[in-house]
C-alpha cells in the first residue's frame, strides 16, 4: 500500500483550504491522492490465483478508504470550517465521493495515474462548464454529482471483474459449441 501520496495530498488539500480557490479544486486535490490505491504491480501474476481481482480490490479499498475518511473528516474539513463561507458539508462530501469514484474507476480501468490529472481537471474546469453541466458545491448540483458517481462506480465494478473467472466458468461448464471434448 502506498500511503505517502494519500497523506501528502490530504496535507496539500488542507493547505489549499486557506487559499481563495474554488472548493472543488481542494476536493479534487484530495481525491487525486487515491489514484495509486488500485495500482498493483503483481496484477498479471495474481490474476491466476484463486483470490479474484474484485476480492483483492475490496481488501485494498477497505484498508485505504477509512484512512482517507479520517484525513478528510479530521484534517481537511475542520480547517475548512475555520474559513469564512465554507462549502456545504453534504455537497462537499458528495463531491469527494464522486471524485474518489472517478479516480478509482480510472485506476481500475488500467489508466493508473491518469485519474489524478483527470479529477484535478474536473475540479478546475467545473467552474467554467456551461450551465446545464456545472459541477458546483450546491444542493442544486447534487444530481449532476450523483450521476457522475453512479457512472464511476459502475465503471469500477466492471473493471474489477476477474478476467479469469469467465474462463473458469466456461471450463467447468464443458467444451464450447463446435469444439470437440478433450480426451
In angstroms, the CA 12 to CA 30 distance is: 8
Over the chain, what is the mean pLDDT? Answer: 77
pLDDT band of 148, cuts 50, 70, 90: confident
- pLDDT more than 90, % of the chain: 1
Q: What are the boundaries of each domain within the chain?
A: 4-165
- 24: part of which helix (H) or strand (E)? helix 23-32
Measured on CA atoms in the order 131, 132, 135, 138, is the torsion positive or negative? positive
pLDDT higher at 47 or 29: 29
Residues 6 or more apart whose Cβ sits within 8 Å of residue 10 = 30, 33, 68, 71, 72, 75, 76
Tell which residue, 17, 13, 18, has the closest CA to residue 28.
Answer: 13
pTM of the full predicted structure?
A: 0.75
pLDDT score recorded for residue 9: 84
145, three cell numbers: 454529482
- pLDDT more than 70, % of the chain: 75
User: Taking CA 81 as the corner, what is the angle to CA 77 and CA 82, rounded to the nearest 5 degrees?
Assistant: 125
pLDDT tens digits for range 87-141: 678 888 888 898 888 888 887 777 666 778 888 888 888 777 777 767 777 777 7
Torsion of CA 41, 102, 116, 132, to 10 degrees: 160
pLDDT tens digits for range 85-95: 666 788 888 88
138, three cell numbers: 450546491
Greatest Cα pair distance in the chain: 76
Amino acid at each position: 500500500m502506498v500511503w505517502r501520496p494519500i497523506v501528502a495530498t490530504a496535507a496539500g488539500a488542507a493547505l489549499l483550504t486557506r487559499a481563495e480557490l474554488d472548493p472543488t479544486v481542494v476536493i479534487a486535490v484530495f481525491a487525486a491522492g487515491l489514484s495509486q490505491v488500485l495500482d498493483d504491480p503483481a496484477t498479471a501474476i495474481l490474476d491466476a490465483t484463486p483470490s479474484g481481482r474484485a476480492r483483492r480490490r475490496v481488501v485494498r479499498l477497505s484498508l485505504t478508504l477509512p484512512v482517507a475518511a479520517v484525513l478528510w473528516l479530521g484534517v481537511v474539513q475542520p480547517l475548512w470550517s475555520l474559513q469564512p463561507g465554507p462549502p456545504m458539508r453534504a455537497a462537499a462530501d458528495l463531491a469527494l465521493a464522486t471524485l474518489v469514484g472517478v479516480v478509482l474507476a480510472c485506476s481500475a480501468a488500467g489508466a493508473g495515474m491518469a485519474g489524478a490529472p483527470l479529477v484535478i481537471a474536473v475540479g478546475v474546469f467545473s467552474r467554467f462548464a456551461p450551465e446545464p453541466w456545472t459541477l458546483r458545491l450546491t444542493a442544486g448540483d447534487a444530481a449532476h454529482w450523483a450521476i457522475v458517481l453512479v457512472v464511476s462506480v459502475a465503471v469500477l465494478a466492471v473493471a474489477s471483474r476477474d478476467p479469469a473467472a469467465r474462463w473458469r466458468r466456461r471450463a467447468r461448464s464443458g467444451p464450447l459449441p463446435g469444439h470437440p471434448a478433450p480426451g
